Chains A and B, each alone.
Chain A
Amino acid sequence: MNVTTRDDVTAWLDRLAERFTLIAPMAVEEQVFYRPVAGSAEIAFDFVRTDLPVKEYFLPSTHVLLSIGRDQGEIHVEEPALDGERVVFGLRPCDARALHVLDALFLEDEPVDPYYAERRERTVLVGLACREMGEACFCTSMGLAPDDAGDVDLMLTEIGEEGDGAAYAVQVVTEKGRAILGSLSLEGVEGNPPAPTVREPIPILEAEAWPQHFDDVYWTRLGDRCLSCRVCTYVCPTCRCFDVRDYEMRDRSIERLRAWDSCMSEGYRRIAGGHNPRPTKAQRLRNRFYCKFCYYPQDFGPVACVGCGRCIATCPVNVDVVEVLEDVGAL
C-alpha cells in the first residue's frame, strides 16, 4: 500500500484549498458538518460521521434554478453561473454511496438534472474510511463496508495511531482522483490497511417482498408516535424531494428557487382544491419506508438507504429504521 503522514496530508489539503473550494468536516459547537474550509487547520479529522450529509453540496437545501429578468414587458431567462471546482475531503463511504444512489435518479434516469450533474462533475471526492461502525450505523446491512472505496475518487484509510502522527494509506480509485494527487508524497510499504471492525448485518427484505405488507396495521401503529416533522428526510443522504417556487426580488427580477421539501409534511401532496392523497401521518411514514426500500429500487435500481443511521440518531420519537426493517422482515 501507499502511505503518507497526517502532516503531508494537511500540507496537501492546504495546497488544494488554493486551487479548489475545499469542503471538509468542520466542528461547529458539539457537531460536525461538511463545510467549505480555508485550510486544513479548520478540519475535524476525528469524527464518526457528520451530522448532516454531503448531499447539501450536490442538492443544495436552497438554490436558484433560474433568474428571470423583466424589462418593459420583455422577459429573459438566465441560468445561474456554474459553481467552481471543488474537492470534498473526509467523505465517509456511506455518504459516497448515497451520491451513487442519487446518481441513479438525477443522472441515469432521463432527463439528466443539469444542476446536479454539473456539481457532480466539478467535484472530486476524497474518502476517509471508517475504522469502526458508529452506534447507529448499519452500512454493512445495506451492502456496504466502512472502508468501501467504490464510490470515491481517492480513498484514505487511517493506519497506526490517531493524532498528529497519524498515517494514512492512500488508494487511487479514479483518474479524477489521480489528477489531484499532485505532490502528495507517498511511500510504498508492505501490507494492507487494517480492516474496520464491523457488526453483523441484519437481513433486508428485497423490494419485491414489501408490497404484501402494505396494508398491515403495523404502519398505523408505527405512525402513532411519528410527529410528522421533517428531520429524517433532511438528515438523510439519499432523500431528495424538492419544491420549486418563484419569488420577486426588490429590483423586480424573479428568482425561481428550488428547496428541500419532505414527503413527511402534511401538505406535501395536497392539490390546490384541497384533495390530499396521504392525509394521515401513518400513510406518509409508510410511504417513506416504501419509497426507500421498495419503490426507488424498482424504479431506479439501488435501495435508497446507505445505513448511515442519522435518522435513527435524530428522530425525536425513536422511529428506528433498523427496528422497522427487522419488524417488516418478521411480519
Chain B
Amino acid sequence: MALATSESWPATGRRQSGSWQNPYRPFLGSVVGAEDLATDIRMFQVALDDPGERERFTYRPGQFAFVSAFGVGEAPFCLTSTPRRGHFLEFAVNKVGTVTRALHHMGEGDVVGVRGPFGNWFPLDEMKDRHVILLGGGIGGAPLRPVIHTILDNRADYGRLTILWAARLPSLLIFTEEFDDWRAAPDATLHVTVDQGDETWTGNVGLITQLLEQVAPSPEDAVTITCGPPIMIKFTLLTLEKLGFTRDQMFVTLEAKMKCGMGKCGRCNLGEKYVCTDGPVFSYAELSGFLESL
C-alpha cells in the first residue's frame, strides 16, 4: 500500500525562512506563556512581534523552527502548535544544553528570535480516511501533538486514531492535561506506558514496543508516525514490521544537530539527505535506502 508523493507533501521543505532577505536573521518574538510539561521539559508560547511577520509565518505539522536565546545561540525545535489554534508558536523545550537552559530561564515578555519554518511536513493529506497510529516517546511526542490537533479539529476527514504515548518515567510524560481531550474524541484511543513506574503510577509499565505488541493495531489502511529517541525509533519500526506494516506506511521525524536549517552548514546529513531540508519527516522506506542510519 504505497503512499504516493503528491502536491500535499513535497519531497523537500525549502521555504521562506527568517528574514525574507537574510535567512540567517531571526524574527523577534516575545515569550507570552510557559508551562511545565514534565521534569526539565517546558512548553513556551512565542508571539512574533511584527504583525506582518506573524501573518506570513505559516507552517504545517512536522516543521521546525530555530529559537534564539540571544547571547547564547539558537537551536532547532519542532513546532508543537498548529496555526489554526492560535497565533502563538509553541515549542516543547527539553533542558539539556546551553541554549535550552537559557530558554528555561525565560519568563513572560522576554525576547527570543525565531527563524523558520524549516523542513518538510507530515503527509496529512495522504493520511485522510486512514487509521492513524501515532507513537511518541518522551519529548518525541512534541511533533505529534499538532497532528493530533489537526485530526481532532477535522475529525471527519480521518479514520480511527490510535495514540501510543510513552516515557521513561511518569514525571517525563508530556501533555498529560490533554489526555482527556484525546480520549474523548470520537473513535480515538490513547495508550500510555512508562519504562519504570513510581509510587503513584497505576498505569501500564513497559516499553512502548511491548505496548505496541499488546495493542497490535492492524496495518490495514493505516499510517504510522513514530518519534522519540533514536533507539526507540529503531525498535518501534522493527516491531511495526513484525506486526505487518510495510515500510511506506511508517513515518518518522528525526532530530539532528543543526546550525542553519537550510542545508548550508553541512551538519545534519544522513548520506546525501539533509534532515533539515529533505526531512525531518521521512518514511521508513526512504530511510532504509540511506547510506547512514540514525
Residues of A within 8 A of B (CB): 65-66, 68, 70, 73-75, 77, 79, 105-106, 109-115, 211, 214, 240-248, 254, 256, 258, 261, 263, 268-273, 275, 277-278, 287, 290-291, 294-295, 298-299
Contacts and interface: CB of A to CB of B under 8 A. Distances in A.
Nearest to A112: B23
A114 B25 CA distance: 11
Contacts of B255: 271
A113 B263 CA distance: 11
A275 B230 contact: yes
A70 B68 CA distance: 14
B17 A254 contact: no
Interface string B86-117: 00000000101111100000000101010000
B163 to A, nearest CB: 24
Contacts of A247: 71
Interface in B246-294: 255-257, 259-260, 262-272, 274, 291-294
Given A241-B267, A245-B73, 11 more contacts: A75-B28, A77-B113, A111-B23, A113-B264, A242-B259, A242-B264, A247-B71, A261-B265, A271-B255, A277-B293, A290-B271
Q: Dominant SS at the A interface? A: mixed
Interface string B196-215: 00000000000000000000
Given A77-B25, A243-B259, A273 B96 contact: yes
Contact of B28 (A77, A290, A295): A77
A287 B14 contact: no
B154 interface: no
A241 B271 contact: no
B17, B97, B266, most chain A CB atoms within 10 A: B266
Nearest to B292: A277
A243 B259 CA distance: 6
B233 to A, nearest CB: 11
B272 A109 contact: no
Contacts of B99: 272
B123 to A, nearest CB: 22
B5 interface: no
B50 to A, nearest CB: 12
A300 B211 CA distance: 43
Contact of B256 (A68, A70, A245, A271): A271
Interface residues of B, number: 49
Nearest to A283: B292
Nearest to A207: B272
Contact of B257 (A73, A77, A242, A270): A270
A68 B292 contact: no
A291 B266 contact: yes
Contacts, number: 119
8 contacts: A68-B71, A75-B111, A246-B74, A261-B267, A277-B294, A287-B269, A291-B269, A294-B272
A110 B294 CA distance: 26
Contacts of A68: 70-71
Given A77-B28, A242-B259, A270-B257, A111 B14 contact: yes
Contacts of A214: 291
A244 B256 CA distance: 15
B6 interface: no
Contacts of B270: 277
A114 B256 CA distance: 25
Nearest to A278: B292
Contacts of B274: 299
Nearest to B272: A295
B28 A111 contact: no
Contacts of A254: 70-71
A59 to B, nearest CB: 10
B229 interface: yes
A111 B71 contact: no
A245 B74 CA distance: 7
B111 to A, nearest CB: 5
A169 B155 CA distance: 74
Interface string B112-126: 010000000000000
A104 to B, nearest CB: 12
Contacts of A277: 230, 256, 270, 292-294
A111 B262 contact: yes
B22 A114 contact: yes
Q: Which 5 A-B pairs have the closest CB atoms?
A: A272-B97, A241-B266, A295-B272, A272-B96, A111-B23
Contacts of B72: 245-246
